[in-house]
């Protein structure tokens, strides 16, 4: 019988995917995997096959399917999560995703630029006021995306300590039981916001849907709340991780940081290279086959789990020559960090804009920024969750 590998593998360096995947990518595109619960499945480690499979409608994202693979005991929590379109297939997925589009069009997102700049400037002032040394996560990386997404949704930012903490406990829960309390707290909170929005309509996605689609009976209340929770959690945690790990990556590559500072037009390209290199949502691509699929000489059977991490695809030398090189001029926009296919990240334009504003502003305001401790002492996050750091102490 073919040897199986374990998945997901842990990072040794917090800002790049696990080194163990390099050899797997060299060996071939698909590998047999044994998951934590003993079930067998597949891991896809090359870019071409990752994209082919992420675009294949024979792979399902339906988390209510008993065969949907779980990558850890914590993963079992997804089964009892409220319905949100990240865990649905067509046509249901598109039906609900389309309801959120008005807030996320390219035009709508670029109109947010002045407000995001204002938010980032304020965060930089708060960081300075905290005094060197200070934690970059709580003073800068987290408040920016958190304030932005709360305004997009119409969630009172005055509640940010509550929802940031609950989101973090949900993402970092060690098992399904630990996820119950933060999930319940967030759901009850969002439920109360829907009630408040019905009584007093206000700007933001939650009120728009509550007084529109919900009032017209086009969306069940629990689905509206599930979507609000997906956007609130996905909307701040991932981008905050990118600001934190992006800062570490740039500080660890001073030549690239200097290139970026010398040429502001290099910023969008540098953000794409950081997204590729950091691959923070590495384990997001989780699917189950609904039919048999033949690909790259392998046979995936209906009912088998297929894991499509974005890190190995983003480090596939066939797509990104010398992938270990962090090169802000590489032209990396075709990375898989936002996934691919119908579930490709809804918030990608927003995340890009936030990163394009927050990262250069930080280095402009704090030209002598340094890590307080060597990067080798930073502890990577658990393998099965969004990568990032609980805190990052910096000096200037």
Of the two residues 23 and 362, which places its CB atom closer to ligand HEM in the complex?
A: 362
Query: Do residues 387 and 16 touch, judged by C-beta distance below 8 A?
Result: no
State the nearest-atom distance from the C-beta of 190 to ligand HEM, in Å: 15
Burial of 261 (0-12, 13-18, 19+ CB in 10 A): middle
CA 34 to chain centre: 24
Q: Can you tell me the distance from the alpha carbon of 309 to that of 43, in angstroms, rounded to the nearest whole number? A: 8
Q: Which lies closer to ligand HEM via its Cβ, residue 133 or residue 341?
A: 341
Q: How far is the CB of 231 from ligand HEM (least distance, A)?
A: 5
CA 383 to centroid of chain Cα atoms: 14
The nearer residue to ligand HEM, 124 or 149, going by C-beta atoms, is 149
CB of 276 to ligand HEM, least distance (A): 10
Q: How far is the CB of 350 from ligand HEM (least distance, A)?
A: 5
**Given the complex with ligand HEM, which of 167 and 239 has the nearer CB atom?**
239
Nearer to ligand HEM, 7 or 368 (CB): 7
Using DSSP's 3-state secondary structure scheme, residue 336 falls into coil
The number of CA neighbours under 13 Å toward the Cβ of 128 is: 14
Residue closer to ligand HEM by CB (options 246, 323) is: 246
| Nearest residue to ligand HEM on Cβ basis | 347
Query: What's the min distance (Å) between Cβ of 326 and ligand HEM?
Result: 17
Shortest separation between residue 82's beta carbon and ligand HEM, angstroms = 14
Residue 40: its H or E element: strand 40-44
Decide: helix, strand or coil at residue 35.
Answer: coil
The contacts of residue 162 (CB under 8 Å, 6+ apart) are 185, 189
Beta bridge partners of 287: 306
Q: Which is nearer to ligand HEM, 125 or 305 (CB)?
A: 305
Q: Which two tokens stand for residue 237?
A: 């945690």
Query: Interface residues with ligand HEM (CB under 6 A)?
Result: 61, 85-86, 97, 149, 230-231, 234-235, 238-239, 242, 280-281, 284-285, 310, 337-339, 343, 345-347, 350-351
Q: What's the min distance (Å) between Cβ of 68 and ligand HEM?
A: 11
Enumerate residues 6+ apart whose C-beta is below 8 A from 233: 167, 170, 171, 186
């Amino acid at each position: 019988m073919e040897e199986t590998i374990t998945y997901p593998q842990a990072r040794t360096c917090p800002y790049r995917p696990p080194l163990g995947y390099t050899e797997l990518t060299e060996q071939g595109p698909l590998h047999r995997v044994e998951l934590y619960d003993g079930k067998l499945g597949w891991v896809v480690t090359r870019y071409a096959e990752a994209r082919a499979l992420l675009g294949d409608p024979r792979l399902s994202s339906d988390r209510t399917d008993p065969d949907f693979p779980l990558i850890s005991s914590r993963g079992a929590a997804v089964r009892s999560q409220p319905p949100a379109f990240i865990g649905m297939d067509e046509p249901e997925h598109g039906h609900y995703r389309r309801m959120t589009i008005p807030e996320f069009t390219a035009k709508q997102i670029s109109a947010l630029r002045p407000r995001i700049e204002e938010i980032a400037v304020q965060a930089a002032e708060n960081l300075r006021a905290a005094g060197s040394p200070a934690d970059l996560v709580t003073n800068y990386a987290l408040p920016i995306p958190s304030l932005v997404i709360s305004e997009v949704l119409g969630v009172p930012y005055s509640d940010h300590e509550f929802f940031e903490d609950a989101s973090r406990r949900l993402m970092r829960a060690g098992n399904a039981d630990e996820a119950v309390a933060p999930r319940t707290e967030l759901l009850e909170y969002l439920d109360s916001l829907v009630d408040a929005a019905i009584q007093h309509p206000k700007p933001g996605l939650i009120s728009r849907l509550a007084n529109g689609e919900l009032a017209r009976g086009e969306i069940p209340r629990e689905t509206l709340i599930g979507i609000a929770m997906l956007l609130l959690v996905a909307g701040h945690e991932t981008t905050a991780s990118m600001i934190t790990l992006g800062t570490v990556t740039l500080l660890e590559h001073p030549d690239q940081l200097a290139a970026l500072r010398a040429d502001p037009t290099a910023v969008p390209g540098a953000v794409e290279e950081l997204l590729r290199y950091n691959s923070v949502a590495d384990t997001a691509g989780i699917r189950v086959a609904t039919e048999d699929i033949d690909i790259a000489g392998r046979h995936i059977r209906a009912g088998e789990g297929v894991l499509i991490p974005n890190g190995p695809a983003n480090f596939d030398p066939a797509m990104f020559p010398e992938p270990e090189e962090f090169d802000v001029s590489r032209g990396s926009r075709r990375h898989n960090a936002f996934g691919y296919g119908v579930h490709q990240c809804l918030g990608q334009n927003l995340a890009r804009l936030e990163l394009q504003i927050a990262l250069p502003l930080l280095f402009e305001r704090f030209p002598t920024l340094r890590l307080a401790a060597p990067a080798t002492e930073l502890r990577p996050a658990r393998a099965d969750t969004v990568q990032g750091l609980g805190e990052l102490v910096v000096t200037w």
